[in-house]
Chain A
Amino acid sequence: MNFENLIRLNKYEWEIPQNYRSDMLVPVRLFATRELLEQVMDDKSLEQAVNAATLPGLAGPVIVMPDMHQGYGFPIGGVAATEFPQGVVSPGAIGYDINCGVRLLASNLELNEARDDLDTLATLLNKYCPSGVGKAGVVKVKIPELDRILRDGSRWALKNGYATEADLSRTEEGGRLDGANPDKVSERAKTRGREQVGSLGAGNHFIEVEVVGEIFDEKTAAVFGLRAGCLAVQIHCGSRGLGHQVCTDYVQQFQSVVKKYGIELPDRELVCAPMDTPEGAAYLGAMRAAANFAFVNRQLLAYSARRAFEEIFKTDKAHLHQVYDIAHNMGKVETHEIEGRRLKVCVHRKGATRAFGPGTPGLPPEYQSTGQPVLVPGSMGTASWVLAGTETSMQRSFGSSCHGAGRVWSRSRAKKQVRGDELRRELEARGIKVRAGSMPGLAEETPQAYKDVDMVVETVSAVGIAKKVARLRPVVVIKG
């Protein structure tokens, strides 16, 4: 793939036409500048997007966000909508970490009031929010209780005192996907998940304490509860071993399912099943159950973060209210207007965030006028963004936007070029407290390994699929 294969529509939009390859069913629409595209031209991101354009039942183009990078099967930053129920659902197009996502909590506590306690805060957050390799979560449950978590999602957390109604209202889908079916989740997946409820895991997952910096839209920031100079907490994690096992189980099972339904694909990781078949319905039930697990996982970590804040800062200003919780690896049945028709589709978002605009059903009343918060974590130690969904995202990208900065360096290159202990010292010198389970793991997440998140945000903002609200910078980083 090179630039000659792409049609430049404008500075921020490109297309891979449907006739690029004979098995494509739809074109690929890329939201990116030339500079961002140059960073992925040597990897397989665009080839994977072309492969995604062969999934049966696609409605509208495959969309690729500016934070795109190479994944496996489906590119990270990809969005694809398939007609429900006759189109397919593809586990690999959602990913192993089902409902990996981000939660943002905000306070009215100013950085200046908290600066002296940041070190203690980092230690307490690290203590109360289990992270890294290992099993133990905030709670350990038996299988019947886990089934209730899988079925009820954040309603379980509310019933058990870990959440408030306000938290649920400000969580995508209220923290509970309808149609979750714990019976379609394997015993092995449940065994992996039952001790991990309320745990961060490792990899690129993190908890950060941030300070709200520049505000770009005062009115919307006020509705979201974001005040310049005040502390916020961002939690990034997913469904842990349970979700990984659900995806593993169904990708394996669907290897024969595609043969049964006569589906030919260019990559076995894209295996899929029509949603109106028993196999497709089973995966949807299991995937939704794993998504509910992830909502509870982030809710319990939010509960633990509040515990740390309350223990240190004995003031109401330190209360962490929820701004929003969103998924960026998920398959959701939604209704969108596509090429002039209102269609019910399964929107596969893999490394892409839902970005519903103002007036979209399902948003809490207070966000009906603003659109939903779109949370875009940047690379470690740089900046994160809060954006808002727009009407344009509903028209152009199935109500979706970017999910982060997007990697450009391999993990091995990052470890060769950066030492974890040096990076930690550098971050600490900039006033960022760091708690990390592994120094090589920290090195892998060096900011140089990622694109410039500001450039990514500039692109989605210019295309109009999200608008800038606020920019946050970290003061505490907790990594597994």
Chain B
Amino acid sequence: MGFEELPHTADWSIRVWANDLPALFAEAARSMNTLSGVQSAPGPRRKREFEIDGSDSESLLVTFLSEILYAQEDEETVFDTFDIQISGQHLSANLEGDRLRALSKPIKAVTFHDLHIQYTKHGCETTLVFDV
């Protein structure tokens, strides 16, 4: 499980890999935290549950990460613990995190560009491009 930044002229592009699909989603969310340089504030832990549907795994991933971005911007919450269940085209998530204290650079959006989740002998991986 991990991610690496790939060259991109204007935005952020990563390759992310994990043993299975839920872990891939969680690692992609962590990559956004790292790239944005989020800093959390001490205080009571914040919890959030949500369910989403998508036309396929890629669509689910974009929607899931977009939910994380929305929570970051509107609710000023940064998640670091991810319990994700995926069944077909349905995802349910139990997330935990802290209040966002600061971030160095926000991500505007998660794009579908170059997004193809591939299954390998080690699990699964994909590239992701974030608009910044």
Contact = CB atoms under 8 A, between A and B. Distances in A.
In the complex, the 9 A-B pairs of residues with the closest C-beta atoms, listed nearest first: A72-B113, A268-B112, A269-B113, A72-B111, A96-B109, A70-B9, A269-B112, A69-B9, A244-B108
Contact of A440 (B66, B104, B129, B131): B104
A217 interface: no
A411 interface: yes
28 contacts: A43-B9, A70-B8, A70-B10, A71-B11, A72-B129, A73-B111, A73-B112, A92-B112, A96-B131, A135-B73, A192-B74, A202-B105, A202-B106, A241-B74, A244-B108, A244-B109, A248-B110, A251-B111, A255-B55, A255-B112, A267-B114, A269-B111, A269-B112, A269-B129, A407-B9, A410-B8, A438-B105, A441-B105
A12 interface: no
A255 B59 contact: yes
Contacts of B102: 133
A438 B103 CA distance: 9
B1 interface: no
B12 A411 contact: yes
A73 B55 contact: no
A70 B102 CA distance: 29
Contact of B9 (A188, A241, A408, A438): A408
Contacts of B68: none
Interface string B78-110: 000000000000000000000000111110111
Given A97-B108, A269-B112, A408-B9, 4 more contacts: A71-B10, A133-B102, A133-B103, A244-B109
Q: Could you tell me the dominant secondary structure of chain B's interface residues?
A: loop
A241 B73 contact: yes
Contacts of B5: 412
A268 B128 CA distance: 12
Interface of B: 5, 7-12, 37, 55, 58-59, 62-63, 66, 70, 73-74, 102-106, 108-115, 129, 131-132
A229 interface: no
B115 A268 contact: yes
A328 to B, nearest CB: 14
A17 interface: no
A68 to B, nearest CB: 10
A191 B105 contact: no
A203 B105 contact: yes
A255 B54 CA distance: 10
A197 interface: no
A187 B117 CA distance: 30
A120 interface: no
A409 interface: yes
A271 interface: yes
A125 interface: no
A98 to B, nearest CB: 11
Nearest to A71: B10
Contacts of A411: 10, 12, 132
A255 B58 CA distance: 10
B114 to A, nearest CB: 8
Contacts of B113: 72-73, 92, 267-269
A352 to B, nearest CB: 15
Interface string A225-245: 000000000000000010011
A202 B36 CA distance: 12
B131 A72 contact: yes
A122 B57 CA distance: 48
Contacts of B70: 188, 192, 245
Contact of B10 (A188, A192, A248, A407): A407
Interface in A155-207: 188, 191-192, 202-203
Nearest to A268: B112
Interface string A37-48: 000100101000
Given A43-B9, A410-B7, A252 B63 contact: yes
Nearest to A238: B108
A133 B9 contact: no
A95 B10 CA distance: 13
A269 B105 CA distance: 23
Task: Pick the most buried of A97, A191, A244, A407: most chain B CB atoms within 10 A of its CB.
Answer: A244
A72 B73 contact: no
A42 B74 CA distance: 38
Contacts of A440: 37, 104-105
Nearest to B102: A133
A78 to B, nearest CB: 13
A277 interface: no
B59 A252 contact: yes
Contacts of B129: 72, 269
Contacts of B59: 252, 255
A252 B62 CA distance: 8
A115 B84 CA distance: 58
A252 B112 CA distance: 9
Interface in A38-63: 40, 43, 45
Contacts of A412: 5
Contacts of A369: none
Contacts of B63: 252
A315 interface: no
A417 interface: no
